[in-house]
Amino acid sequence: MEMQDHVRYPLMEAFYTLQGEGYYQGQAAYFIRLAGCDVGCPWCDVKESWEASDHPQVLVSDIVASANKVPARLAVITGGEPLMYDLQPLTLALLEAGFSTNIETSGAYPISGTWDWICLSPKKFKPAHPSVISAANELKVIVYHKSDFEFAEQYAKEVSPACQLYLQPEWSKREEMIPLITEYCMAHPQWQVSLQLHKYMNIP
């Protein structure tokens, strides 16, 4: 048994569904939601993930064994803020099991782990670490207020030229923000729209 199999992470939940957002939208994926977050977004829809001590510490080997029960080979590590932890043991085990490794992160902590795709979703409350910005494959900015377009452009200047750029309406403000995002993407075609497809489909 590999050394990383003995590592534990605070696991809030793990589930099989469709990726609802960003570049991989619509693809079947196994989500691994780690608990613990100190970024504190007021609109967060998984605030129960913030306190790591409320959730069990689960072995990497058990996390991967559960993932292996589904037919898809796409694993998405999310949170909480997953980069609060050294994710190399978990990503190595997933890669060895044949999974592609994706992460969704605010970038508030330095990058760790071996990734096929890094989705950076920065927040105003805690700036993203340069190591995540430079490695990001996807920049996904949540639009809660019209000032968030300027915030998005600040990060767009810092990510690599190959990074995919997405603007996503905050769910409770979607009716107000979608027309603004539509207009913005038409005027700035380097940006694409990301919608929370899973919420429209009423799936996890």
Determine the Cα–Cα distance for residues 184 and 204; give it in Å rounded to an integer: 29
pLDDT at residue number 144: 95
Dihedral, CA of residue 50, residue 55, residue 56 and residue 62, to nearest 10: -60
| Cβ(36)–Cβ(51) below 8 Å | yes
pLDDT lower than 70: segments of the chain: 1-3, 5
pLDDT at residue number 180: 98
pLDDT at residue number 47: 85
Give the domain ranges of the chain. 3-201
Distance of CA 191 to the CA centre of its chain: 18
Q: How does pLDDT run across 24-45, given as a tens digit for each residue?
A: 999 999 999 999 999 888 878 7
H/E segment holding residue 200: helix 197-201
pLDDT at residue number 163: 98
pLDDT at residue number 3: 64
Determine the Cα–Cα distance for residues 96 and 61; give it in Å rounded to an integer: 11
pLDDT at residue number 43: 76
pLDDT at residue number 120: 98
State pTM to two decimals: 0.95
pLDDT at residue number 41: 81
H/E segment holding residue 101: strand 100-105
CATH entry, 3-201, from 3.30.2130.10, 3.20.20.70, 3.30.70.3040, 3.30.70.260: 3.20.20.70
| Cβ(168)–Cβ(199) below 8 Å | no
H/E segment holding residue 31: strand 28-34
pLDDT at residue number 25: 97
